Structure 1
């Protein structure tokens, strides 16, 4: 198969006699989700959970649908001269306010000690840094704070905590808790902002769990 994840997915769908709407429904998305991904490039790449489910469904390696090579991902965290691992910083901010559109471009990187990163219990290959945009998570997170996001949490059972998530193509950082019958509560720490209760888990794409924050004084 070619290296193009979109071409690979379309080939798998057509080869197995499926249609785009049915596959979208299997993923719990709106019927146009797969067609928009293939034809319009929105989203730019599949969510980790969607990609994994599709790979399992079609019995192919996940990398054919856009998953990074694990070894290459590890090598992308260059060791600098003082022994630090560099964690990439996403160009876009995760909104703690009205919302930012998703952008997968990386801009800079920041160095961290390997032992310190291991104490977080996360693989550096699954970490990225994102700037907080807005004040809805104050006093826990403030506008301009850097947050470290563990993307592997998107593939694990959800537990209460602060997450970066996507709703309707908007990237948000919010406090998330499991509610009754599998529904989610999505809350802002700033009481001036509204909370959302009984949110369907199918309507939320978990990007990762916030495991650290750095604040400017």
Structure 2
């Protein structure tokens, strides 16, 4: 029943604002038929959290109207919930970036996020570091905040999550703009680096902007 109410509410907003299905689908980065299929066929059954948030912001309504739970913890009021993905830095191809893969969320103060990440919080995700190749900077099991909006088009020196040969890795990148190449290395000297890599051979997934770990 709640899902039906959410679909009906979105249909009503579309009619009131004179919007169209295809335009809204593109707004949330989906195929042109996505919103129409959601409303008319119930597929998907409910909106993904990111899609719901973007649509609620666009129409200027509360997310609850579009199917968000009404029982959000009072402590999270006014905070930004960032998805914590159940994936490590050595996961296989295609295993990072899908909102549906969120195992949980961590809530952050929006002002703090603006200081840490340059882009929209919609492009932030948290993943685990797997292995010790970036020690002592990053340790095995550390949680890292990755800004997927700060990737290929803004690539510069820093620590990035990269997809190389169908695997995700966390490495330090040094850019050589003149040669159109990058040097990729681990902070742990026990691991080899890759000097002078062709930019076309790597896929930057996002810049690592913060890390957290358990002490003791």
TM-score range, shorter chain: 0.5 to 0.7
**Contact 1:92–1:130, Cα closer than 8 Å, also in 2:** yes
Show the counterpart of 2:3.
none
Taking the aligned partners of 2:205 and 2:56, their CA distance within structure 1 comes to: 17
Show the counterpart of 2:46.
none
Q: Report the RMSD for the aligned CA atoms in angstroms.
A: 2.9
- Among residues 56, 59, 84, which one is paired with 1:89 in the alignment? 84
Taking the aligned partners of 1:203 and 1:110, their CA distance within structure 2 comes to: 33
Q: 1:155 to 1:81 in 2, by over 3 A?
A: farther
1:38-77 to 2 correspondence within 5 Å?
Answer: 61=26, 63-64=29-30, 71-72=54-55
Show the counterpart of 1:194.
192
Q: 1:214 to 1:183 in 2, by over 3 A?
A: same
1:9-158 to 2 correspondence within 5 Å?
Answer: 61=26, 63-64=29-30, 71-72=54-55, 80-82=73-75, 83=77, 84-94=79-89, 99-102=90-93, 103-104=95-96, 105-120=101-116, 121-158=118-155
Q: 1:64 to 1:112 in 2, by over 3 A?
A: closer
Shift of 1:208: 0.3
Q: How many residues align?
A: 154
Q: Deviations over 1:56-90 (max 9, x none)?
A: xxxxx583559975814976999742232210011
Q: 1:85 to 1:140 in 2, by over 3 A?
A: same
Show the counterpart of 2:23.
none
Gapped runs of 5+ residues in structure 1?
1-60
The structure that has the greater radius of gyration is 2
- Among residues 158, 161, 164, which one is paired with 1:164 in the alignment? 161
**Contact 1:77–1:85, Cα closer than 8 Å, also in 2:** no
Gapped runs of 5+ residues in structure 2?
1-25, 35-49, 58-62
Question: Runs ≥4 in structure 1, deviation > 4 angstroms?
Answer: 64-70, 72-80
Show the counterpart of 2:181.
183
TM-score computed with the length of structure 1 as normaliser: 0.63
**Contact 2:119–2:150, Cα closer than 8 Å, also in 1:** no
Shift of 1:134: 0.4
